[in-house]
Amino acid sequence: MKKQLTAALCLHLCLLPGYVLAAEDETAPSDVVDVVLIGGGTMSVTLGTWLNELEPDWNIQLFERMDGIAQESSDGWNNAGTGHSAFCEMNYTPQDDDGSVDIARAINVTEQFEISRQFWAHQVERGVLQDPSSFISNVPHMSVVWGQENIDFLTERYARMSENPLYAGMQYTDDEATIAEWMPLVMAGREEGTPMAATRMDLGTELNWGVLTRQLAEHLATQPNVTLTTSTEVRGLERNEDDTWRVTVANVESGETSVVNSRYVFNGAGGAALLLLQQSGIPEAKQYAGFPVGGSFLYTTNPEVVSRHTAKVYGLAAEGSPPMSVPHLDLRYLDGKPTLFFGPFATFSTKFLKEGSWTDLFSSMTFSNVWPMMQVALGNFNLVRYLVSEVLQDRDDRIDSLREYYPEANPDDWEMWSAGQRVQIIKKTDDGGKLQFGTEVVVSEDGTMSTLLGASPGASTAPPIMLNLLKRVFPEQVESAEWQAKLKEIIPSLDMKLAENPELLRELRLNTSRVLELEGQEAFVRTHLPDANSSSTQEAESEAL
């Protein structure tokens, strides 16, 4: 109890404006720290957790411009909260011209999410994360479509995915009564005879990224070689003659500046990461530009409504829309209260952060990226049309969109919420500018400067994204016996494909379900991923022989 109170007090202190946390017995800091982390969101805090466990003697400093941790995109109110595991997100499974469905990206996302589950379970076991129910919950993931063409797509998607152990237990139905049982709000009041189909995966999760990130930060704040500083903005990145980095920071309230020299810098500043990447001057920065897309949601806390929808239900995105715009009706747990979100509705702003500057987009324009940006604008008319139509919508239009998924929605139950900003990547290629969705890690040739750009699946795959970053930035350490032993302790499936190892997949899903206290998931796994050594399996094999 004393240790928990101490950790809580440390986090409280480190979130005070401009406060720098340092252990009482910490020796005077050296001229050069080991790692500077920019941004107090899920990515930076996850990387800090990795590094602190692997190298507890390294000096790590984290700077966050807001007055607290995880207040931008990582905050629970500023994202969808979906544990993006590709169970219900149909944009991860594109359909080819011949009607076949490609599930390669879905498999990759699911494999990554399994690494995330292992990482979080490990942190729970060592006491870094407290009370799993505070940040992760068992919420079924469902996909729903209507119209014969879309039903054909979902049927093919299910057929392909159900062949893979990663999706064992996924259900499919085109029966109205079954769909009504799965998602009552979606079917209540809907015109009878509408052709529909749906899939369901009971292994889905809902996450509060803000709570998870703040708990990781709370632990980091207690470590003797880690310093967390809030209300402090990184305003300059410059390479020193000895190849270390000169990081200029400023207190956002007083304007007072200071300098930290660091061997490595990770730029995880969310939407602002592109601007800082450009400041670093590394050649790799010239390949990138950014396109900001905001989002808003309708939400309700009316218990009579919320109690009738216990799932995350995803539909199909509008033509030309970015993946983050996929419509979904979600059960959320925010501020200790069950809430329903519907959206997102795209908004447009030249800001790169929710609390950013109107000049962000213009500040990011350079001689090397203006033309790629123009090429993307000219070559993505559907996207431009979609954004214009979204921006022109009023509240009545958004309620009409909600009623496509919840026909009996009462407008009086729903309020609007402006969520976080995202910056989609525009990358300069030999074929011109290309708009890229997803996340991308940019690393300097010597590995000392790294930056995370992009959006979804984002926080859901932060542990594997940061694990891959470790492999690129610290290749010798990753191959060392010491790091290998620790990495395999944290991620038992390290460097393995669980889709090709169903027995290990079963074992890990059982363990993470138990540790993360995901009620019902253990039984689900035991039912749909049977033990290869069980007597029933052996008997079946004997009969077959």
- Is the pLDDT assigned to residue 508 strictly greater than 50? yes
* CA gap 22, 27 in Å, rounded: 10
- Going by pLDDT thresholds of 50, 70 and 90, the confidence category of residue 18 is very low
Q: Is residue 86 part of a domain?
A: no
Q: Based on the fold, state whether residues 266 and 370 are members of the same structural domain.
A: no
Q: Give the pTM.
A: 0.87
- Which of the pair, 352 or 399, is modelled with greater confidence? 399
Task: Count the neighbouring beta carbons within 10 Å of the beta carbon of residue 485.
Answer: 9
Q: Calculate mean pLDDT across residues 385-394.
A: 69
Q: What is the pLDDT of residue 206?
A: 96
Q: Is residue 510 part of a domain?
A: no
Q: Which of 437, 471, 502 is the last residue of a domain?
A: 437
Partner residues linked to 232 by β-bridges: 251
Q: What is the pLDDT of residue 357?
A: 76
Q: Based on the fold, state whether residues 424 and 363 are members of the same structural domain.
A: yes
- Going by pLDDT thresholds of 50, 70 and 90, the confidence category of residue 371 is low
Q: Based on the fold, state whether residues 432 and 298 are members of the same structural domain.
A: yes
Q: What is the pLDDT of residue 28?
A: 36
**The residue to which tokens 């989002």 are assigned:** 295
The phi, psi pair for 143, rounded to 5°, reads -115, 140
Q: Based on the fold, state whether residues 238 and 293 are members of the same structural domain.
A: no
Give the H/E segment covering residue 197: strand 196-201
Q: Is residue 432 part of a domain?
A: yes
Q: Based on the fold, state whether residues 335 and 410 are members of the same structural domain.
A: yes
Residue 19 belongs to domain with CATH number: 3.50.50.60
Q: Is residue 175 part of a domain?
A: no
Looking at this protein, which amino acid is placed at residue 518? L
Q: Based on the fold, state whether residues 293 and 415 are members of the same structural domain.
A: yes
Q: Based on the fold, state whether residues 294 and 401 are members of the same structural domain.
A: yes
Q: Tokens representing 79?
A: 């994202």
Q: What is the pLDDT of residue 341?
A: 95
Query: What single string gives the DSSP state of each residue in 304-315?
Result: HHHTT--SEEE-
Q: Which of 455, 487, 510 is the last residue of a domain?
A: 455
- Going by pLDDT thresholds of 50, 70 and 90, the confidence category of residue 537 is very low
Q: What is the pLDDT of residue 342?
A: 95
Q: Is residue 525 part of a domain?
A: no
Q: Based on the fold, state whether residues 244 and 222 are members of the same structural domain.
A: yes
Q: Based on the fold, state whether residues 271 and 333 are members of the same structural domain.
A: no
- Is the pLDDT assigned to residue 409 strictly greater than 90? yes
Sign of the dihedral defined by the CA atoms of residues 126, 130, 131, 137, in that order: negative
Q: Based on the fold, state whether residues 295 and 404 are members of the same structural domain.
A: yes
Q: Is residue 35 part of a domain?
A: yes
List the domain range (segments joined by +) for residue 46: 2-73+209-282+444-455
- Is the pLDDT assigned to residue 545 strictly greater than 60? no
Partner residues linked to 141 by β-bridges: 201, 312
Partner residues linked to 201 by β-bridges: 141
- Is the pLDDT assigned to residue 535 strictly greater than 50? no
pLDDT in tens, 54-94: 999 999 999 999 999 988 888 888 888 888 999 999 999 99
Task: Count the neighbouring beta carbons within 10 Å of the beta carbon of residue 175.
Answer: 12
What is the DSSP secondary structure assignment for residue 29, as one 8-state letter?
P
Q: Based on the fold, state whether residues 268 and 358 are members of the same structural domain.
A: no
Number of domains the chain contains: 2
Q: What is the pLDDT of residue 377?
A: 67
